[in-house]
Structure 1
C-alpha cells in the first residue's frame, strides 16, 4: 500500500504505521488528527516525491503528527519542500529531511476568499541536511525546537507573525543560522556554528537569549531591528565581527554577553543607538562575577578590554567604561574575577598616515599600543586632550611644526609616545571638505580621499544641509523628526534644535535668516540665526521640497512637489520683507530642486517628470524648458550664472539599476552642453564650490554604500570618484576659513 492510500482510508484519530521501504509519492494529508509514523522509528521508511513540483507531504488538516520518517524534498519547488503545512496544531518530530525544507505557510484554496495559516505547530527533534525550516508570512504561535540543521539555509522566520519560539536548535554550515523579519520571536538556547551569518534581525524586535554562536563570519547582524534584547549569549571566533550594527533603529539592550572576536562590534558609519549595559544588579554574570552589568569584551590574542582593564575593587566590573564606538559606551563592562589586569603595563605606540605635507593636512592616526584600553591624544602637545578615540583623524589647517602625544593606559598604568608633524603653507585654492547627511548624522568628509574627519549626530534621517556664509553654523533638516539641528562648525557639535523643518534648507546671503520647508504642513519656516527661533511661517503649495533665495535676499523660491494623492507642480515666490507669497508659477511634474542665478534674473527648477523649467523672475513666468530625458532632482547654478548642473536618476532606474546622471545646461541659450553618466549610484546631493571650478555629487546605491563624484567644470567631466562606506544624502561645501577671514 502507499501512504496516500492509507490516508484516504483513515478517519480522525487513526495511526498510520509505515513499514521500512522506499515510498515514491506525494502525500496529501487532509484527514484531521492523523498520526503517520515509521514502524521502526529509525528512518528506514523513506519517502521521496513522485512529482518534484509538488511538496512531498502537504498537510491541510489540523492536528497531524509526522514522525520517524526519512523524507526527501521536492527539488523543483523553490524551497524544496519536504513538508508543507498550512493547518494548525501539527507535530513534525523526529524525522530526517534530506535536501528539503519544513515549511509552515499559508494557502488560499481556489474559489475561497479565506486564507488558511499554519499556526500552533511543533517542529521538534528533526535532522535536516541541506535544507531549512521556514515560517511564512503572518504565521504565529509555533515552536521550532531541538532540531539539527546542517549544510543548508537554517531557520527563516518571515514577517508579521507573533509568539514564535526558536529554542535549542543546533545549526551548522548554513548560509544563515536564524533569520527573522518584522516580528518578535523568542530565540534562545540555540547553538550556531560555521555559518555565514549566525542570526539576522531585520525590522524585528526579538529576544535573543543564551545562544552560542561560534566560527561564523558575522555573529549577529542587526539591520533595522528595534526593541531587541540580546542577553546571555556567547559569540566567539567570528571572522568579520561578533555583532554588525548595519542599520540603526534604537531601543536595543545588549548586555551580559561574552564576546571573543578580533572585532567584536562593527558599525556602519552613522549608525548606533544601543544600550550596552543593564543597571548594576546582583546576580552571577556570564563571566562568573557577582553582578549583572555590561558585557565581557575579549579578543583571541588576549588584548580585549575585559582582559586588560583594571578592577581594583574586585567586583567583576571594570573600573573604566568601554568606549565601543564614538559616543556608544558599555558603562559596566565585565572582567574575570581571576584575571591579573592590575599588573599589566601598557606600551604606547602609533603610526601616522602622513607626517608632512601642505595645509590642510589630513592625518589618520592608527593605534598600535599594547595592553591599552584608554587613549588620550594631544595633537599639538599643548597639554590638552584633543581626542579619546583609538584611531582618530585630525586636520592641521595651518602651517607649522606640531608634536603629537599619545598617552595610553589600562586605567592604572600609563605610557606615552611623541611624533612630529610638519605642515607646510597651503597651496590649493579649494577647501576640500564638505558636510554630507546620512542616517542619524552629518559627516565631515575630505573630498579628495573620502576620509571621514568627524561625525556629528543630529536627528533621524537628516535631509537638507546649509552652511552660513561666514562658515560658523550649519543648519540640518531632520526629515523624520521634523526639526532642524544647528551645528557649531568650529567644534562640530549641535548647539540648538529648532522644532520645524522636514525637507530642504537655505541660508540668506547675509546669514541672518534660514528658510526651511515643511513637507507635511505645506509651509516654510523662517529662522533667526542669532536666536535660532522661528520668526515667521509662510503657507506655500502642497509638499514643499526645494528652496532657494536670491543673492540680494529679497525673494525666496519654493518648489512644491505634490504627492501621490494631491499634485501641485508649482513654485511659490515669497517676498522676504513681508513673508508673503506674491506669485505662484506652474512648472513641471513633481518639481523638486530649485536654484537662482547670481544676478537673480532666472530660476531653474528640476521636475522629476524629465525636464527643467526656466522662470523669468521679472514676470514670474516660465520662459523655457530643457528636456534632460531622465528624472532630475538636484540642481545648482555656478557662481557666475553661466551654467546649471542638474542631477537625478536615469530612466533605467525603474528597471532595477541605480545609475544616475548629471547634465550641464548653458544658461545663455538653455541647451544641454554635456551629460555625464554616474555609474553605480543615484545622485542625492549636489554642490558647487565657491570658485565654480568643481561640482560635487553625492550618490547612493542599492548596496547601502555610496560615492562622491567630482566634476571638473572646465571640461564637464568626472575627474575623480571617492568611495564612501555609508549611503549619503544631501551635501554642502564648507567655506574656506582663509577666504572668510580675509573678506
Structure 2
C-alpha cells in the first residue's frame, strides 16, 4: 500500500514541477517600429538580444531590414498572424530550431547553415519551420534538414532546396503562383498538398522523395520533373495543362508514379533520356493530351527508357495513347484501358537498334478501344530520324549487316485467372473499336473460354495469339458479310489489282484470285498481278472464326493490240512553294505508268493519278512514260514554282527552302550571302555552306566528321570539333586549331573568336586571330555560358547567384571592364549582341520573354510579351526569336518572330512550325525547320512593299 501512495506522490510532484517550470531564458520579446514602449523597434535588434527559447513578437508595420538569424531555438512571429499587415525585407536563417511565421517578405528568405566564402556548408541548419508567410522572392535552402515549409503563399517566386544529404525536409500546403519547387541533391524530401499555378515541381540528383497530393497547372515546361532522380514516390497528384505532366529523364529509375490525374497536357507522362528505366507507372488517369504516355529512349548508355511497367492506367481521349520511340524496349504494358484516342491507341516509333536494346516490349490483358489500336511504324528501322514529338534525334545501330528490330509481344502464356474483361483466362488483349467492329467484338468464341477462336494478326510480324473476348459477347451469334472492291482502271496485261476489303464482322480473309479453289492470300487488302489474258472469278471468303461468308467478282484481262498513247493533265501549272499538283493520267492502252516530276531521270511515282508537292522554287519538267507489250510513249509538260511570299503589313516575306535532303540540317548561321550549318549523316555531323548569290552548296572538309555549332564572319567559319575550337578560312581553304582545351559554343566577329571553355568550371575565352593570342575573360568563381561577340564587346550568361539563377554580363576588350547587364534573380540566358544593343531570354515573373539593353542609353526594354520566347538574335534594328505562344514550349509548336525597333512592330516570320534556332543578317533570316519531319534550313528575305505613284488624270467641262 505504501508503494502505491509513494507512486502517486511522485507523479503529482513531477507534474507540479513541469507546469510551474519557466526558465529565465524563455522570454517574449516585442518589436514595434512605431511604438516606443515595445522592447525593440528593429527585428534585428530583438534577434540579437534574444536567447534560445525566446519568442520575438512583431507588431504590424513595415520593416525595411534584412534580418540575420544566428541564435538557435527562437521564433519570430507576427503579432497579428496576418502576413498582409507585417512587412519585412528579408530573412537569413543560418542556425537550428528557428520558426518564421506571419510575414510578408519582399526579398528572398535564405535557409542555410554557416558557410565560408565559397559556400561550402560545413554547419547545416536543422529543425526550422517557415509557415504562414507571403513571399515575393521565394525561399532558398541549402543543407537544411528536418525542416518544414508549410502554408505559405509564394507570388512570382518559389522554393529552391539544395540537399539535405541527411534527415528529411517537408514542403506542404503552400500556394505558389508563377513559381516552382526545385529540389536538388536531396533525399527524403516530402512535397505534400501544394498548389502550384503556372509553375512546376523539379527534382534533380536525389532519391527517396515523396510527391503526394499536389495540384499543378498551366506550366509551359512540366508539372513534375525528375532528372537523375531515383526511387521516388509520386502519388495522387493532379497536373493540368502543362507541356509534360510528369517528366522522368536522364538516369531516373525505379520511381513509382501511381494514381495521378493528368489532363490537357502536351504529354501526360514522359519517360526519356539515358537509362530512365524500371519505373512503375500505375493506376494513373491520363486524358485529353497530345500523347498520353511517352517512352523515349536514347542510345548513349545502358538500357534506355526500358524495363518500365505500365499497369492499370486509364489512357483516353488523347491524340496518341501510348508512344514508344527511339530505343525503348523491355517495357511491360498490362491491365490498362487505352480508349478513344484519336490517332491511335499504341504507336511504336522505335528505330533500328543494336542487340543490347533488342528486348521485347510486352502488351497483355489491356483493353484497346480506338479506331486504330496498334501501329508499329517500322520505317525507322532503316534510317536515322528525328522525333516530331520530342525533337530527339535517333541513329540506327547495326547488327552485323542489318539493323535490330525491337520485338513486340501482344500476349503472355495462357493461364487461369480473371482477365480485364471478366473472362476466365489471362492471355492477350481485348481489341475493340468505338464503332463496334473491333476484332474482340466480332471474333467467335465457340468454347466460351473468353479467348477468340482465331489469333489476331495485326501485321505479319505482330500477332495476339490469345485475343480476349468478353463473356457477354461469346454467346452471341455474329454473322460475317463478305464484300470487296478493286482499283481497276484498265484491263490489259500485266494487270496489277489492289483488292480492298469491305466486309463486315470479319476477322479473317481468304482470297482465291483465279477460281481454282486454292487460297492465294490471307491478307485483308492484298495486291495480285494477272500476267495472262483471260476471264477470272475472284472469290473472297470472310470469317469471324466460326461463321463464314463469300463474295465473287469477275475480271476480264485482255492483251494490248496497239501501242500506248501518253497523255496527262495537271490541275495547276504554277504557284508558290509548297505547291501541291494533282496529276491525272489520260493515257490510252497502257499497262504501266512512270512519272518523273523534276526531270532528274529518276522515277518518282508509278501511281495512275499521283499528287506531288514541290517544296523548292524552280522550273520543272514533268515526264510521263507509259507502256504495254506493243511499245512505249512519253509526254512532257512544265510547272513553274515560285518562292513562298506573304504580306505582313508593309513587309513582303519571301521564304526559301535551302536544304531538301532527308538528313537533319541544324544550327544555321549567316553572314552576308553565306549560310553555314551542321548536317547529321548517320550520327556524324559535318558542316555545309550555301552561297545565296550562286545557289551553290559546299561541304566544309574535315578529317573526322564531328563538327558542331558553326559560326561565320566574312570568309571565316569557327566550330567545335572533338572538344576543340577550329577556324576555317574560305579564301585560303586552310583549317586552324584555335584551342585544344575542352570548349563549346564558339562565336566570331572580325579577328576575335570567343567560346565557353573548361577552367575547373565554365569560363569565357577569347582568341585574337591577328595577334594569335588567347585570353581568359572570366574566372572560375562563376559558371559562364554561351558567349557572343561584336566589335570589342563580349557578352555571356553567368551563374553567380547562389540559388542557381543567371545574369547577363559584358566585357569591353578596349577598356578591360566587365559590366553586369541584368540583375533580376531569375534566369537570363542566350545573349546576343549587335552594336550597343544586347538581347537575351529572360525568365522573370514566371514567363520567358526577350529583353534588350542599350549600352548607350542604359535603357532596358521588354521586346516580346508572349511568355514563351527563346533564343534571340539581333542585327541592326531587327530582333528575331523562337516563340511558342500558340502551344507549349517544345519545338513542334514554335515559330519565328521578329521585332523592328525602328517601327516598334512585331512580325510573325513563319506560320507552319516547328521552327527554331533563328539567325539574322541584314534582311535575311535563317532557321531550322521541321515542317516536313526532318530538319531543314530555311531562309526568309524581308522587303518592303513599294508605294505606287498616283496616275495623273483630270476632266473638265466648259463654262460659258
- Deviation track 1:221-273 (CA, whole Å, cap 9, x = no partner) reads 11131111111111011111110112255511111101111111122245773
Q: Quick check: 1:310–1:411 contact (8 Å CA) kept in 2? A: yes
- Deviation track 1:31-82 (CA, whole Å, cap 9, x = no partner) reads 42143343xxxx6x310235xxxx64344434321100011234xxxxxx44
Are residues 1:139 and 2:232 paired? no
SS in 1 for 2:292: strand
What residue in structure 2 maps to residue 90 of structure 1?
Answer: 189
CA distance in 1, matches of 2:486, 2:517: 20
Are residues 1:234 and 2:337 paired? yes
Q: Quick check: 2:410–2:464 contact (8 Å CA) kept in 1? A: yes
- How many angstroms does 1:423 deviate by? 3.8
Q: Per the alignment, do residues 703 and 230 of structure 1 end up closer, same or farther by CA in structure 2, a change over 3 Å counting?
A: farther
- Deviation track 1:104-135 (CA, whole Å, cap 9, x = no partner) reads 12xxxxxxxxxxx2322222211101133444
Pick from 11, 16, 41 the counterpart of residue 129 of structure 2. 16
Are residues 1:320 and 2:454 paired? yes
1:160-559 superposed matches below 5 A:
160-181=251-272, 182=274, 183-184=276-277, 185-203=279-297, 204-205=305-306, 206-224=308-326, 225-247=328-350, 251-270=360-379, 273-340=407-474, 342-354=476-488, 356-425=490-559, 447-448=606-607
CA distance in 2, matches of 1:280, 1:340: 18
What residue in structure 2 maps to residue 69 of structure 1?
Answer: 174
What residue in structure 1 maps to residue 100 of structure 2?
Answer: none
CA distance in 2, matches of 1:310, 1:86: 57
Question: In terms of Rg, which structure is larger?
Answer: 2
What residue in structure 1 maps to residue 245 of structure 2?
Answer: 154
- Deviation track 1:595-632 (CA, whole Å, cap 9, x = no partner) reads xxxxxxxxxxxxxxxxxxxxxxxxxxxxxxxxxxxxxx
Q: Quick check: 2:217–2:223 contact (8 Å CA) kept in 1? A: no
Q: Per the alignment, do residues 397 and 158 of structure 1 end up closer, same or farther by CA in structure 2, a change over 3 Å counting?
A: farther
- Deviation track 1:565-596 (CA, whole Å, cap 9, x = no partner) reads 99xxxxxxxxxxxxxxxxxxxxxxxxxxxxxx
CA distance in 1, matches of 2:416, 2:143: 54
What residue in structure 2 maps to residue 35 of structure 1?
Answer: 147
- Deviation track 1:291-339 (CA, whole Å, cap 9, x = no partner) reads 1100011111211111111111111111111111223210001111121
- Deviation track 1:185-209 (CA, whole Å, cap 9, x = no partner) reads 2211111111111111122211111
1:614-625 superposed matches below 5 A:
none
CA distance in 2, matches of 1:345, 1:34: 69
Compute the RMSD of aligned alpha carbons: 3.7
CA distance in 1, matches of 2:370, 2:338: 8
Q: Per the alignment, do residues 25 and 8 of structure 1 end up closer, same or farther by CA in structure 2, a change over 3 Å counting?
A: farther
- How many angstroms does 1:368 deviate by? 1.6
SS in 1 for 2:473: coil
CA distance in 2, matches of 1:25, 1:187: 35
- Deviation track 1:424-474 (CA, whole Å, cap 9, x = no partner) reads 4465697969xxxxxxxxxxx9744799xxxxxxxxxxxxxxxxxxxxxxx
Are residues 1:130 and 2:211 paired? no
What residue in structure 2 maps to residue 547 of structure 1?
Answer: none
Q: Per the alignment, do residues 562 and 99 of structure 1 end up closer, same or farther by CA in structure 2, a change over 3 Å counting?
A: closer
What residue in structure 2 maps to residue 48 of structure 1?
Answer: 155
CA distance in 2, matches of 1:13, 1:217: 48
Q: Per the alignment, do residues 705 and 354 of structure 1 end up closer, same or farther by CA in structure 2, a change over 3 Å counting?
A: farther
CA distance in 1, matches of 2:934, 2:607: 18
- Deviation track 1:648-672 (CA, whole Å, cap 9, x = no partner) reads xxxxxxxxxxxxxxxxxxxxxxxxx
CA distance in 2, matches of 1:313, 1:351: 34
- How many angstroms does 1:26 deviate by? 2.5
CA distance in 2, matches of 1:400, 1:394: 15
Gaps of 5+ in 2: 1-75, 77-87, 98-124, 298-304, 352-357, 382-405, 565-589, 596-603, 611-700, 707-929, 936-960
1:560-709 superposed matches below 5 A:
564=704
CA distance in 1, matches of 2:407, 2:537: 35
Pick from 203, 206, 211 the counterpart of residue 118 of structure 1. 206
- How many angstroms does 1:213 deviate by? 0.4
Q: Quick check: 2:195–2:216 contact (8 Å CA) kept in 1? A: yes
CA distance in 2, matches of 1:125, 1:99: 17
Q: Quick check: 1:253–1:275 contact (8 Å CA) kept in 2? A: yes
SS in 2 for 1:223: strand
SS in 2 for 1:288: coil
Q: Per the alignment, do residues 269 and 368 of structure 1 end up closer, same or farther by CA in structure 2, a change over 3 Å counting?
A: farther
What residue in structure 1 maps to residue 5 of structure 2?
Answer: none
SS in 2 for 1:376: strand
CA distance in 2, matches of 1:4, 1:256: 57
TM-score in terms of structure 1 length: 0.53
Q: Quick check: 2:423–2:471 contact (8 Å CA) kept in 1? A: yes
- How many angstroms does 1:176 deviate by? 0.7
Q: Quick check: 2:494–2:591 contact (8 Å CA) kept in 1? A: no
Q: How many residues align?
A: 434
CA distance in 2, matches of 1:93, 1:166: 15
CA distance in 2, matches of 1:227, 1:104: 25
CA distance in 2, matches of 1:703, 1:34: 53
CA distance in 1, matches of 2:155, 2:183: 14
Q: Quick check: 1:104–1:118 contact (8 Å CA) kept in 2? A: yes
Q: Quick check: 1:7–1:29 contact (8 Å CA) kept in 2? A: no
